[in-house]
Chain A
Amino acid sequence: MPKLERSAYYDLTRDMNWRFKYVRAEEVFPQEMVHNPEVPYEEWWKWDEPYKVTYREYVYNQSEKDHGVYSVKAAIARSKLFDALDNGWKAALTAHYGAIALPEYLASIGESRMARFGLGASWRNMATYGCLDETRHGQIQVYFPYGLLDKHPQFDWAHKAFHTNEWGAIAARSMFDRMFTANDALSTAIQLTFTFETGFTNLQFLGMAADAMDVGDVEFGALISSIQTDESRHAQIGEPTLRILLKNGKKKEAQRLVETMWWRAWHIFALLTGLSMDYYTPLEHRSMSFKEFMEEWVLRQFLDMFRDLGMDPPWYWDIMRDEMNWYQHGLHLGVWFWRPTVWWNPDGGVSEAEREWLEEKYPGWNDTFGRYWDVITENIRNGQTEKTLPQTLPLVCNMCHIPIVTLSDPKQKHNAPYVSEYNGRRYLFCSEPCKWIFDVEPEKYAGYLSIVDRFLAGHIQPPTLENVLAYMGLTPDIWGRDADNYAWAFQKKVDQAAVGN
């Protein structure tokens, strides 16, 4: 029996669109499950994915990938490779697993909602693969850190983080819940697969896999590479969805969906990737700064795509470009200073040689953030580490749930939080765009209580910092500590050069 060319049968396997007779299309695809802004139902039948795959190919590729990655895992488990890794890299690893493993599982919920309520059969077909992908990503990114539990109990937070009220988990959860876990199918296609995955993670995984191999983390490198190839397949769901919206005159809706999510993705991305690129990755393995990565890999690609599609860059593009100069530095200093509130051991990353790198990549760093580290370094050298630990809470943004850090350049000072009043309650925000996202749909976010709101509402009793840590699910064996026990505060550049050879 001659084998048909894939192109000869491909449409047969995925184009299951039909005109309903016994029910109306709105009953099959209810608005609360897929917010269709009045695009004619059959317009969605033209949905077409650039990168095609059949189920046979899918199963074959995925089993090959899993076979490869799990054998690397088994081989590495018997070696001492992990123990030789840099402590800063281990911090990036621990943070990644806690922040990403379970959301991948949750993303399979978003994908399965598209697999059922996607308005074109080819969209539903591609989302079915996306659901299988995300299930795989959740499983593999819980299994790998499970294999590292004997190294440090913090790896248990790969599974635990999303079940706690730790502030970083709240920040990630509140975004991912909005992006896919509790989002309608159309908005998920635009906000998860287009804005977040095409915009950020598809490229991030490429960069991370390269960094992992560079620092000698073969296991994580193999894992992330195998995930990245899945990501590029299901990330493509966003573009055809967007094209149909635009073709049918729905640019305003599409623009709002992208803009209300891009900014939140930028803040979470800066928290997770900014710190690891600018402070945790060992100096000798840093290929570029976070800002350079954002400009070269994320911004340029996204702007090109935006223009191709006929979309406008978000109104806050310049605010974001400014934040790329300092926001990750504020977050790093905040995470390091409030380190007991995170499930990983932050690397100070400010030895003399590292500060020189920071000054070169971010001219003026020493005059802004360097000044804080001068005071902190002096306290450490004087044996007063208690002065480098928090005595109160930072204010947390009521939108992105990340502490409100501010530019430290005296000339452009804006310390005061941005404020909105809604139904008699006052909401505080870290930035104009976070405030704007709230003001666009306040009823969507009004019920959220930040960790500080809960503290002030008496949810944490007695209201002490120790109890805040317990409320966050953090136990003493998990509290973050300085990754190198403050070695960087005593490290002269000469020692650093010797260490580097």
Chain B
Amino acid sequence: MATVPLTAAHKEDFVVLLVPVEDTDTIAQVAQKIAAHTVGIRVKPRNKPLQVMHNGRMVPDHLTVAEAGIRPMDYVEVSYVE
């Protein structure tokens, strides 16, 4: 297990953050870790699931960070599924 620092943002937030995750974390867990710094903090909570975009594509929830090919300091963006 290795820590992977990510540059991350919630689509509706105003700032890019440094969010460390584990390479074994699922994408769903990554979404939660980013949401912990944004939703209910600056972004209004909404009753909708979250999704994660990396390199311009939405990444399936069940994949791990390693399986999704996300590298240290890559940019990932969380947003609500509209």
Binding site for B on A (CB under 8 A): 330, 333-334, 337, 369, 371-372, 374-376, 379, 387-388, 391-395, 403-408, 410, 413, 415-417, 426, 428, 452, 455-456
Contacts and interface: CB of A to CB of B under 8 A. Distances in A.
B42 A376 contact: yes
Given A391-B36, A392-B37, A456-B5, A330 B44 contact: no
Nearest to A419: B75
Contact of A387 (B11, B14, B15, B40): B40
Given A391-B37, A417-B7, A417-B75, A374 B44 contact: yes
Nearest to A390: B37
Contacts of A408: 12-14
A404 B42 contact: no
A416 B14 contact: no
A415 B75 CA distance: 9
Given A337-B42, A415-B77, A455-B18, A395 B7 contact: yes
Contacts of B19: 392
Nearest to B7: A395
B16 interface: yes
A403 B9 CA distance: 13
A410 B12 contact: yes
A497 to B, nearest CB: 29
Interface string B20-49: 000000000000000011001111100000
Q: Which of A407, A408, A413, A416 has the most CB of B within 10 A?
A: A416
B43 A375 contact: yes
B71 to A, nearest CB: 9
A394 B42 contact: no
Contacts of B17: 392-395
Given A334-B15, A379-B40, A395-B7, 15 more contacts: A333-B14, A334-B14, A372-B43, A375-B42, A391-B36, A392-B37, A393-B17, A394-B16, A394-B18, A395-B15, A403-B15, A406-B9, A410-B12, A416-B9, A456-B73
Contact of A413 (B11, B36, B37): B11
B37 to A, nearest CB: 6
Nearest to B77: A415
Most chain A C-beta atoms within 10 Å of own C-beta, residue among B5, B7, B13: B7
A481 B50 CA distance: 33
A452 B13 CA distance: 20
Given A406-B9, A415-B77, A417-B7, A395 B36 contact: no
B16 A393 contact: no
Given A375-B41, A456-B5, A369 B14 contact: yes
Contact of B16 (A333, A404, A413, A426): A404
Q: What's the dominant secondary structure at chain B's contact region? A: loop
Those 10 A-B pairs whose CB atoms lie nearest each other, nearest first = A395-B16, A372-B42, A404-B16, A415-B9, A393-B18, A416-B75, A408-B14, A394-B15, A395-B7, A405-B15
A416 B41 CA distance: 20
Contacts of A333: 14-15, 42
5 contacts: A395-B7, A415-B11, A415-B75, A415-B77, A426-B73
A130 B34 CA distance: 50
A379 B42 CA distance: 10
B80 to A, nearest CB: 11
A201 B66 CA distance: 50
A388 B42 CA distance: 8
B76 to A, nearest CB: 9
A77 to B, nearest CB: 41
A455 B19 CA distance: 12
A392 B21 CA distance: 12
A405 B14 contact: yes
A376 to B, nearest CB: 7
Contacts of B7: 395, 417, 428
Nearest to B72: A456
B48 to A, nearest CB: 15
Given A391-B36, A391-B37, A395-B7, A330 B42 contact: no
A249 B43 CA distance: 53
Nearest to A330: B14
Interface string B58-78: 000000000000000101010
A403 B16 CA distance: 8
Given A415-B77, A426-B73, A456-B5, A406 B18 contact: no
Contact of B41 (A330, A387, A393, A406): A387
Contacts of A410: 11-12
B75 to A, nearest CB: 5
A387 B17 CA distance: 16
Contacts of A334: 14-15
A404 B75 contact: no
B18 A372 contact: no
Contacts of A337: 42
Contacts of B44: 371, 374-375
A312 B40 CA distance: 46
A415 B56 CA distance: 12
A123 to B, nearest CB: 43
Contact of A330 (B5, B9, B15, B75): B15
B73 A415 contact: no
